[in-house]
Structure 1
Amino acid sequence: MHRVQVELGERSYPIRIDAGLLQQAGLGISDYPQIVIISNDTIAPLYLTAAEQLFAGCTVKHFLLPDGEAYKTLDQFSRIMTFLLEQRFPRDGLLVALGGGVVGDITGFAAACYQRGVDFIQIPTTLLSQVDSSVGGKTAVNHPLGKNMIGAFKQPQQVLIDTDVLSTLPAREFSAGMAEVIKYALIADADFFSFLEQQATAIRQLEPGALAQVIRHCCQMKADIVAADETEQGKRALLNLGHTFGHAIEAWLGYGHWLHGEAVAAGMMMAARLSEHRGWLTLDEVARIQALLQQFDLPVEPPSGMQIADFLPFMKTDKKVRAGRMRFVLPVSFGYSELIDDVTEPELLSVFSECRHRA
């Protein structure tokens, strides 16, 4: 078993990574009077029974959400609250998020709000949630005017990652997760980018050794960043590479039309073009980024019909905006990114045109 520790003082917690983790009944989580597993109607038939066995001897109930980003809403959050109240769920109970990023985000938000805070753990079942959203304590729901604009920071008690569950993950969902993996390489690790290029075939074929190395590396990178900047006052904002553009794509299309990772991939490509426009990345480096994204069947340009004017309203309400200034995470060299606050609208128009022309 691989183990990564998120160091946050008294709120530190482990990330356990192993093949077959869901088959390891009774992981010592038994000191809760009631446990509620929150999942969705796609994941529950596959893994709910196994997840229940992890909590042998406990009173375990479950609540199922519809599957998809379109259901990461205040309405579904309210349904969870109603269920917990009806079940008289106690403050010393445990919520368990069994699913991808949507389930993890909304369960974490419920844990932050119910009786002003209850414990929860993450059991992520998608690559994207395993390498990114399950770690770090960001929880939220979406609003038609902006993604993840309603939420709270709430750290889990632990994260349990079973790499075997990726065998049932649809290829499109796996590719979406690889967008977040590639993001880590671009923000701070050029050597990791080279590893992904060299191991792309093994990763696509779900080779266990390559997968475990990718997941552990990403979790360690995120754990280090979260430990240094838990509430995103500085360094943690780097994890949003591609997200300012990507969130605008998701909101403009309507949540669920593109997967989150697909929107982030197109957003990273726009960020790379902007860096090239400023002379920070070479044409060859941008071509490497595009080639790796395309190896995992990810989009490298904005959706058809979307214009730069469609991006701006969402960008101007992005969480990184400060004093009315849009801020973007951009690669200032290959494998090293920074937060930039002087991007102009004419620059964005030029980059948008290049993405359309050169994709």
Structure 2
Amino acid sequence: MSEVTRIPVGEDYEVVVGRGVSSHVAGLLPDAVRQVLVVHPQDLAALADPVIAALRDAGLIVHAAGVPDAEAAKAVQVAADLWSRLGQAAFTRSDAVVAVGGGSVTDLAGFVAATWLRGVAVVHVPTTVLGMVDAAVGGKTGINTPEGKNLVGSFHPPAGVLCDLDTLDTLPEVDRAAGLAEVVKGGWIADPVILDLVEKHGRAALDPSSPVLRELVERKISVKARVVAADLKESSLREILNYGHTFGHAIELAEGYRMRHGDAVAIGMVYAAELAHAAGTLGVEDVARHRAVNERLGLPTRWTGTAGFDELRVAMGRDKKTRGATLRFVTLTSAGHPTRLVGPDEALLRTAYEAVTA
């Protein structure tokens, strides 16, 4: 293996970042594991093969399950099919699930692990930037319903996470850019050095061999690790990780989940900045910087879909931060200083909508 970085998530587990680390997956599983279900996208079997081989070399019984790609994987029927696989193989509480793929696969596999026998171990081997810096870290699991994204789920921390940077070599650049939207979010809420690096290097940060990309990935993982270690179940601090997600999830729903999550979050962050500016808590310079940072990575800054304000307003009302009929947004007072905007006036919501659709 090349140089390895180990990022602790509290005292519960580590995120291992490096090249060639996928073959060490068995070392993160509990000692009592006898059987493993490896969940991977159907078209990424080649990335799952080395993981499966490493687990078998460790003497484990391995079952492989291909699932649909992207958000199509996060469906009740897909989860039910995996539960059936576990039942047919007589998985016990001492067995485990391993997820190989992007954020949708880690969300799905984590949810299946959390619910099988009320909880078995799961190890994540994310193969996308988005999976590495966000979905695989923190123990959130979930599936979608027709009413919204991630409305069904649980908190179930993994036994470990392996971020093998080799898997990013074949990831399309548009997907690396979309993943970096979540990295940029980490810059806005906690680590402004991330913003400085993006402004300095721009699209060069998308090069999978770039030390800049690795630094950005590790910085964002560190941000999330600190936050979730302090607040696993999102009772307070962890809400800041939802910056840009209230509007972002709404447009994902409006698009039938055909839009990349990172692209939606990129637009959602601009919306949150415009909303904070309209409310008088964020300066115009920071609003402009939101657009400029996105543009450096080729990320969108405007919503060009067909859904109108009223449709998106209904979707935002289903956001998990909402309490009763009161919307709650994560906003900023400046880079690295998140706050919350509770129950904003409808006129402010519409003003921000008009700003990101102009």
In the alignment, what sits opposite 1:207? 209
- 3-state SS, counterpart of residue 154 of structure 2: strand
| Pair 1:54–1:145, CA change in 2 (3 A) | same
In the alignment, what sits opposite 1:39? 40
Contact kept, 8 Å, 2:37 with 2:62, in 1: the verdict is yes
- 3-state SS, counterpart of residue 344 of structure 2: coil
In the alignment, what sits opposite 1:226? 228
Contact kept, 8 Å, 1:189 with 1:336, in 2: the verdict is no
Kindly state the Cα deviation for residue 119 of structure 1 after the two structures are TM-superposed: 0.6
| Pair 1:304–1:201, CA change in 2 (3 A) | closer
Q: 2: distance between equivalents of 1:78 and 1:27?
A: 28
In the alignment, what sits opposite 2:333? 332
In the alignment, what sits opposite 2:8? 5
The question of 1:182 aligning with 2:184 is answered yes
Unaligned runs of 5+ residues in structure 2 are none
Alignment of 1:196-345 (within 5 A): 196-255=198-257, 257-345=258-346
Code of the residue aligned with 2:344 in structure 1: it is V
Q: Number of paired residues?
A: 352
Alignment of 1:54-69 (within 5 A): 54-55=54-55, 56=57, 57-69=59-71
Kindly state the Cα deviation for residue 118 of structure 1 after the two structures are TM-superposed: 0.6
Kindly state the Cα deviation for residue 128 of structure 1 after the two structures are TM-superposed: 0.4
- 3-state SS, counterpart of residue 162 of structure 2: strand
- 3-state SS, counterpart of residue 184 of structure 1: helix
Kindly state the Cα deviation for residue 218 of structure 1 after the two structures are TM-superposed: 0.9
Code of the residue aligned with 2:110 in structure 1: it is G
Kindly state the Cα deviation for residue 24 of structure 1 after the two structures are TM-superposed: 5.0
Code of the residue aligned with 1:307 in structure 2: it is G
Q: 2: distance between equivalents of 1:354 and 1:215?
A: 30
Q: 1: distance between equivalents of 2:206 and 2:194?
A: 16
- 3-state SS, counterpart of residue 259 of structure 2: coil
In the alignment, what sits opposite 1:53? 53
Alignment of 1:17-96 (within 5 A): 17-24=17-24, 27=27, 29=29, 31-44=32-45, 46-55=46-55, 56=57, 57-96=59-98
Q: 1: distance between equivalents of 2:331 and 2:303?
A: 17
Q: 2: distance between equivalents of 1:190 and 1:312?
A: 30
Code of the residue aligned with 1:276 in structure 2: it is H
Kindly state the Cα deviation for residue 162 of structure 1 after the two structures are TM-superposed: 0.3
Q: 1: distance between equivalents of 2:300 and 2:241?
A: 19
1:296-349 deviation digits (Å, cap 9, x = unpaired): 222212232221111111111111011321000111223321122031111111
Q: 2: distance between equivalents of 1:191 and 1:214?
A: 9
1:149-185 deviation digits (Å, cap 9, x = unpaired): 0001001000000011111111221111011000001
Contact kept, 8 Å, 2:332 with 2:339, in 1: the verdict is yes
Q: 1: distance between equivalents of 2:26 and 2:193?
A: 38
- 3-state SS, counterpart of residue 270 of structure 2: helix
The question of 1:124 aligning with 2:149 is answered no
Unaligned runs of 5+ residues in structure 1 are none
Contact kept, 8 Å, 2:267 with 2:356, in 1: the verdict is no
In the alignment, what sits opposite 1:115? 117
- Range 207-216 or range 238-247, more displaced: 207-216
- Range 272-281 or range 307-316, more displaced: 272-281
Q: 1: distance between equivalents of 2:25 and 2:227?
A: 32
Code of the residue aligned with 1:177 in structure 2: it is G
| Pair 1:276–1:148, CA change in 2 (3 A) | same
Task: Give me the TM-score of the superposition, normalised by structure 1.
Answer: 0.94
RMSD: 1.6
Q: 2: distance between equivalents of 1:189 and 1:59?
A: 42
Contact kept, 8 Å, 2:103 with 2:126, in 1: the verdict is yes
- 3-state SS, counterpart of residue 166 of structure 2: helix
Q: 1: distance between equivalents of 2:28 and 2:289?
A: 45
- 3-state SS, counterpart of residue 43 of structure 2: coil
Contact kept, 8 Å, 1:40 with 1:99, in 2: the verdict is yes
